[in-house]
């Protein structure tokens, strides 16, 4: 039963408006492709590696096909038609391409589907392995403790991640190197240099997954691995995550648009394909609404978070994600000097919990109002942890009292883990006893935010989501649909376009 007494008709109206706002974007994604989607198809078909200069073969092949015959018909038909005469896919960079027709197109499509199906079968096998290991090692009870590792060196990340797991972390996130989201290629191999993070590569995924499997066996509980499927290579990184059995991926429909100035059309097309991969792989996505509150006021903009979550839910469902894979994000970012700030936080967190009862919600700690006073910061993190327990959040990202001062030391992480362990242990099942007073401050605040969300979604549905984004509705940042990075990588599909990956994924066994 709702602790907030939310009106089911108002909630249903919000979802209807979100669906109406999302539909033109879904149609855009269905009828267009991008260079990264086509590169992901090649990766599923088994193409990997890079040339002597570090340029991935998938980039070189896609660029060669696009230069000769375009990508309006997809990469699969011209590549698998050309493979009749080339045994090694790397030879394709100098091949002559054509778009086959008739019987030749049927044969090329058949060979492409068989190759891509082998990649998807590997993703299926990894999902089965995860289920087996969860049964073997055990799955920790929520809220899961989520901790970030970010040294830049994968071989330094591994022991830190294992140590964090031993201290109680349930989810390890290897944050990406600054700026990787703006690279239109995925680096190859194990990397030892990064900037405020470690490059997302297939080999780095493999190494960290093996390390966490090892510590999972030691601890008797499955430790999840998270990375970032955002930016210009979102479909490819999602594919690599599925191929290497990652468990969660940051994958928001608007984060790259608002905070990385990636073209809106490119982002929405890429995110649909990436979410289809995540759905098949059993990966939980994490959305990025918490970031809106770093640029906008957490009270005034609370309804934009809810609106974005409802849009993310609609986009996710259409791509095949279940509620159990929707790690919708929100954050504890209200100015602590504001009277009743904790009550406001509880109202917002409980509202999200009740709107999405089956979603593994990801709750983010305070960052914007961490002042450098580590004692006040540690106390604020404790209040955040308490709010997470009281409102039944599923995933709690560990807050650091040195946020904004320096990259956390190991001792900082130990203290942060001690903080959340204490709160979880002391509070126990306190959520059972948390019942806001009917008509009281918390209930009325939650209802007001929901009403403002309905009003906003009504305007977005009428004016168009791309127009709303261009006007700075989300995160107070204006991003027009004809601007931003990556627009030149968007291609409208022609009649006869063929993508064996989407064909298989949309069959949804």
pLDDT of residue 429: 93
Q: How confident is the model at residue 476 (pLDDT cuts 50, 70, 90)?
A: confident
CA distances from 295 to 160, 208, 334, 415, 475 (A): 31, 33, 12, 28, 6
Tokens 């201290």 belong to: 167
With beta carbons less than 8 A apart as the criterion, state whether 407 and 196 touch. yes
At 105-116, the pLDDT tens digits run 999 999 999 999
Same domain, 111 and 235: no
Neighbours of 10 (CB within 10 A): 13
- Find the helix packing angle between 102-137 and 264-281, rounded to 10°: 60
With beta carbons less than 8 A apart as the criterion, state whether 133 and 222 touch. yes
State how far the Cα of 202 lies from the Cα of 55, in Å rounded to an integer. 14
At 227-259, the pLDDT tens digits run 999 899 999 999 999 999 999 999 988 889 999
Q: What is the mean pLDDT of the chain?
A: 95
Q: Which of 102, 137, 172 is the last residue of a domain?
A: 137
Cα 37 from chain centre: 16
pLDDT > 80? residue 407: no
pLDDT > 80? residue 508: no
The predicted model scores a pTM of 0.95
pLDDT > 80? residue 1: no
Q: Is residue 300 part of a domain?
A: yes
Q: Is residue 497 part of a domain?
A: no
Same domain, 258 and 127: no
pLDDT of residue 432: 94
| DSSP states of 328-354 | -EEE--S-TTSTTHHHHHHHHHHHHHH
Q: Which residues pair with 479 in a beta bridge?
A: none
* Residue partners of 103: CB distance under 8 A and separation at least 6: none
Active site residue 290: yes
Q: How confident is the model at residue 341 (pLDDT cuts 50, 70, 90)?
A: very high
Question: Active-site residue among 3, 146, 228, 362?
Answer: 362
Contacts of the segment 432-441: beta carbons below 8 A, 24+ positions apart: 434/3, 434/346, 434/350, 434/390, 434/391, 435/3, 436/3, 436/4, 436/346, 436/347, 436/350, 438/5, 441/340, 441/343, 441/347
With beta carbons less than 8 A apart as the criterion, state whether 221 and 206 touch. no
Question: Active-site residue among 222, 228, 255, 498?
Answer: 255
Domain region containing 118: 35-137
Cα 62 from chain centre: 25
Q: Is residue 289 part of a domain?
A: yes
Q: Which of 108, 137, 166 is the last residue of a domain?
A: 137
Which segment, 11-20, 281-290, 395-404, is predicted with the most confidence on average? 11-20
Q: Which of 403, 430, 446 is the last residue of a domain?
A: 446
Same domain, 270 and 391: yes
Question: Active-site residue among 290, 292, 378, 412?
Answer: 290
Q: Is residue 262 part of a domain?
A: yes
At 289-340, the pLDDT tens digits run 888 888 889 999 999 999 999 999 999 999 999 999 999 999 999 999 999 9
pLDDT of residue 406: 80
Count of domains observed in the chain: 2
At 270-286, the pLDDT tens digits run 999 999 999 999 999 99
Across 90-118, average pLDDT = 95
Cα 148 from chain centre: 15
With beta carbons less than 8 A apart as the criterion, state whether 180 and 195 touch. no
Q: How confident is the model at residue 405 (pLDDT cuts 50, 70, 90)?
A: confident
Neighbours of 15 (CB within 10 A): 14
Same domain, 238 and 110: no
* Residue partners of 114: CB distance under 8 A and separation at least 6: none
pLDDT > 90? residue 213: yes
Q: Is residue 70 part of a domain?
A: yes
Q: Is residue 264 part of a domain?
A: yes
What CATH number has the domain bearing residue 312? 3.20.20.440
State how far the Cα of 422 lies from the Cα of 142, in Å rounded to an integer. 15
Rg, C-alpha atoms of the chain: 23
pLDDT of residue 509: 60
pLDDT > 70? residue 97: yes
pLDDT of residue 494: 98
- Find the helix packing angle between 234-243 and 202-219, rounded to 10°: 40
Q: Is residue 97 part of a domain?
A: yes
Q: Is residue 345 part of a domain?
A: yes
Same domain, 131 and 233: no
Same domain, 94 and 233: no
């Amino acid at each position: 039963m709702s602790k907030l007494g939310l009106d089911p008709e108002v909630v249903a109206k919000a979802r209807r408006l979100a669906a109406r706002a999302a539909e033109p974007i879904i149609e855009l994604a269905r009828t267009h492709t991008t260079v990264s989607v086509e590169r992901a198809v090649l990766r599923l078909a088994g193409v990997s590696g890079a040339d002597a200069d570090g340029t991935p073969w998938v980039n070189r092949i896609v660029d060669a096909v696009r230069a000769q015959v375009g990508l309006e018909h997809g990469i699969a038909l011209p590549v698998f038609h050309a493979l009749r005469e080339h045994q090694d896919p790397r030879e394709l960079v100098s091949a002559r391409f054509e778009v086959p027709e008739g019987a030749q197109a049927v044969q090329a499509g058949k060979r492409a589907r068989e190759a891509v199906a082998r990649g998807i079968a590997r993703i299926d096998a990894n999902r089965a392995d995860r289920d087996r290991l969860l049964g073997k090692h055990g799955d920790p009870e929520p809220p899961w403790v989520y901790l970030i590792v970010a040294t830049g060196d994968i071989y330094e990340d591994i022991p830190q991640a294992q140590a964090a797991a031993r201290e109680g972390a349930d989810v390890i996130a290897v944050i990406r190197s600054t700026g990787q989201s703006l690279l239109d290629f995925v680096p190859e191999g194990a990397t030892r240099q990064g900037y405020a993070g470690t490059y997302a590569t297939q080999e780095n995924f493999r190494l960290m997954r093996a390390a966490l499997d090892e510590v999972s066996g030691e601890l008797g509980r499955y430790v999840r691995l998270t990375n970032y499927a955002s930016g210009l290579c979102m479909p490819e990184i999602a594919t690599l995550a599925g191929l290497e059995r990652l468990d969660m991926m940051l994958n928001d429909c608007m984060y790259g648009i608002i905070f990385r100035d990636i073209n809106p059309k490119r982002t929405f097309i890429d995110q649909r394909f990436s979410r289809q991969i995540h759905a098949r792989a059993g990966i939980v996505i994490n959305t990025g609404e918490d970031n809106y509150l770093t640029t906008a006021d957490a009270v005034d903009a609370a309804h934009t978070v809810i609106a974005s979550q409802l849009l993310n839910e609609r986009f996710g469902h259409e791509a095949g994600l279940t509620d159990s894979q929707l790690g919708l994000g929100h954050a504890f970012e209200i100015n602590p000097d504001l009277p009743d700030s904790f009550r406001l936080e509880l109202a917002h967190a409980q509202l999200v919990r009740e709107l999405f009862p089956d979603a593994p919600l990801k709750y983010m700690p305070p960052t914007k109002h961490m002042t450098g006073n580590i004692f006040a910061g540690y106390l604020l993190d404790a209040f955040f942890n308490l709010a997470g327990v009281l409102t039944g959040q599923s995933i709690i990202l560990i807050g650091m009292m040195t946020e904004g001062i320096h990259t956390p030391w190991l001792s900082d992480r130990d203290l942060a883990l001690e903080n959340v362990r204490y709160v979880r242990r002391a509070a126990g099942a306190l959520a059972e006893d948390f019942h806001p007073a009917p008509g009281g401050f918390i209930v009325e605040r939650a209802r007001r935010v929901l009403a403002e969300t309905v009003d906003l979604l009504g305007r977005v549905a009428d004016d168009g989501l791309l127009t709303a984004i261009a006007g700075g509705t989300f995160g107070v940042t204006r991003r027009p649909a004809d601007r931003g990075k990556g627009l030149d990588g968007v291609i409208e599909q022609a009649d006869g376009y063929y993508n064996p990956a989407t064909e298989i994924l949309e069959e949804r066994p």
